[in-house]
Amino acid sequence: MNYWYLIIFLVSSLFIGKYLFKRLFNPIFLYAGSWSFIIYMYSLKLIGYSPVSDFTWNLIIVSFLAFLSGILVVYLGRSIYYNNNDAIDTNDKTIPEWSASKQKQIRNFILATAIIGLLVSLQHWYVLINKYGSIAMVFLNARDIYQERVGGEHLGKIPYLNLLSYVSVFMSAIYSAYRNKFSYLVVIAIFAVILADAASLARAGVFFAFVLFGITFITSRYYFKSKMKGEQFKHNKNIIITLIVIVVIALSSVSLIRLIRNPLGDYKSTSIELKELTKSGIISSSIYLYFSSPLSVLSAYLENRDEVAVFGENTFYPVYNVLNKFGAGINLSPYPTGYFVPMWVNSATYLRELDVDFGPAGVFIIPFIIGFLSTYFWYKFFDKGNLLYLTFYCFTAILIVFSVFYIGTRLTVWLFGFIFSILSIIYFEKLKTKHN
């Protein structure tokens, strides 16, 4: 199959999304944009990957159609219920401004959760430096630290508390959208995440925080801008500049962590062009590998489909992991199986994990459910303005973006970040009710 046809198909679906949601940045944009990007990266052929089979391309199309079907079910049901095709602007009322005391409470909460996450990360670094002697020696022993983490050992890490950093990222995105400007709170929150991931030689947390912030900020700003009157929502070029800086920081952090884990950055079948681009600093080979390999890995998996797992192991991994702490004894694999394509890579999009977890039905049912839920919560948030709906939408939307790598629910940060964020929003909604 010519993957350019697939890219054109995905991009054309953006017009459907604009029609259904009346906004460019919506669930269809996230899905089509994410998948178009990795298909394009693969098409550059800067690494000589194993070819992607026609069956794999067809599976990608069918699963995307299942996702679209979930969206259309909500849209059509909503249109019938309201007898009105206007999907978003059903409520023209402006929302009251947050009081100075509420804004202060939110700022204090963001700062407190960010500082807790920062202190936990610093404690982790303190233990590592004590063991290895210096920061430089920690980096020199990066492979050992990474292997220990892969084996389930987290030297000096206090479990779960560091996840408060992601609550800080989420709340700072809402607050920044309301204020239409960024503050030092965003910097502290994101820095705490980067520091924690650097200590664990992990990358997913940084990328997760960036996606969480971006989705939450843009969606919140859409709402506040449409429902609030005043001068504060005039175009602010500093927002665009800051978002670009955050993207650069996130990509640089991911690349740096990968470089520390693999200092040579030498991958088999790397093209001369990629080597030159890496030397010039335009793009690192690790970043290119990260965003271009999942399709080839998925195709390699589909050739045999011989992975064996507990029912829903990848999808419900954090839940099973917690149950194991109470003696459940469920046999889990901490990381997905890798495939040689022609280097060992284990990210194979969420389609591999859905097939492993639930069989062929999962490849169609789960995308449908994600499309259904993301659309339902999108409309509910824009209709009601309740931040609980925003929380459900943002964490569902994260699954859309991460679908090009793996099923996002297997990340501990997704489950507990979601739970902590829900509890935080409930707390502030009660404060608002009490003040009103």
The residue written with tokens 């005039």 in the block is: 234
Q: How far apart are CA 149 and CA 193, in angstroms?
A: 17
> Are residues 159 and 126 part of one domain?
yes
SS3 content of the chain, % helix, strand, coil (to 5): 70, 0, 25
> Are residues 109 and 82 part of one domain?
no
DSSP for 104-117, written as a single string: HHHHHHHHHHHHHH
> Are residues 136 and 51 part of one domain?
no
Looking at 238, 261, 284, the residue that finishes a domain is: 261
Confidence band, pLDDT 50/70/90 cuts, at residue 88: very low
Q: Give the chain's domain count.
A: 2
Confidence band, pLDDT 50/70/90 cuts, at residue 87: very low
How is residue 335 annotated by DSSP? Answer: S
The residue written with tokens 């899905």 in the block is: 31
Looking at 206, 239, 261, the residue that finishes a domain is: 261
Nearest CA to 169 among 203, 207, 120?
207
Domain annotation covers residue 168: yes
Residue 253, pLDDT > 70, answer no
> Are residues 322 and 253 part of one domain?
no
**pLDDT of 182:** 80
DSSP bridge partners of 47: 270
Domain annotation covers residue 61: yes
Nearest CA to 219 among 22, 418, 25, 421?
25
**pLDDT of 235:** 56
State which amino acid sits at residue 59: L
Looking at 239, 261, 283, the residue that finishes a domain is: 261
Residues 6+ apart with CB under 8 A from 320: 310, 313, 328, 330, 332
Nearest CA to 342 among 283, 303, 274, 296?
296
Q: How far apart are CA 365 and CA 358, in angstroms?
A: 9
Domain annotation covers residue 420: no
> Are residues 154 and 203 part of one domain?
yes
> Are residues 111 and 72 part of one domain?
no
| Token pair for 429 | 């909604």
% of the chain exceeding 90 in pLDDT: 38
Phi, psi of 230 (to 5 degrees): 135, 180
Domain annotation covers residue 269: no
Domain annotation covers residue 230: yes
Q: Taking CA 122 as the corner, what is the angle to CA 117 and CA 123, rounded to the nearest 5 degrees?
A: 100
> Are residues 390 and 312 part of one domain?
yes
Q: How many CB atoms are closer than 10 A to CB 9? A: 14
Nearest CA to 346 among 415, 398, 410?
410
For residue 404, what are the CA distances in angstroms to 88, 92, 348, 368, 409? 28, 37, 8, 16, 13
Residue 308 Ramachandran class (φ > 0 left, ψ -120 to 50 alpha, else beta) = beta
| pLDDT, mean of residues 22-39 | 92
SS3 344: strand
Question: Each residue of 348-382: pLDDT tens digit?
Answer: 999 999 999 999 999 999 999 999 999 999 999 99
| pLDDT, mean of residues 302-318 | 90
Residues 6+ apart with CB under 8 A from 334: 150, 151, 152
The domain containing residue 147 runs over which residues? 100-261
Domain annotation covers residue 186: yes
Q: How far apart are CA 187 and CA 370, in angstroms?
A: 31
Question: Each residue of 130-184: pLDDT tens digit?
Answer: 888 887 787 777 667 766 665 555 555 667 788 889 999 999 999 988 888 887 8
Question: Each residue of 374-412: pLDDT tens digit?
Answer: 999 999 999 888 899 999 999 999 999 999 999 999 998
Residue 260, pLDDT > 70, answer no
Nearest CA to 395 among 18, 27, 66?
27
> Are residues 166 and 46 part of one domain?
no
> Are residues 123 and 50 part of one domain?
no
Q: Are 413 and 208 in contact (CB under 8 A)?
A: yes
Domain annotation covers residue 286: no
Does pTM surpass 0.75? yes
**pLDDT of 295:** 94
Of the listed ranges 235-244, 320-329, 348-357, 388-397, the least confidently predicted one is: 235-244
Domain annotation covers residue 285: no
Residue 190, pLDDT > 90, answer no
> Are residues 357 and 319 part of one domain?
yes
> Are residues 247 and 174 part of one domain?
yes
Residue 93, pLDDT > 60, answer no
| Token pair for 149 | 């983490």
Residue length of the chain:
436
How is residue 180 annotated by DSSP? Answer: T
> Are residues 382 and 246 part of one domain?
no
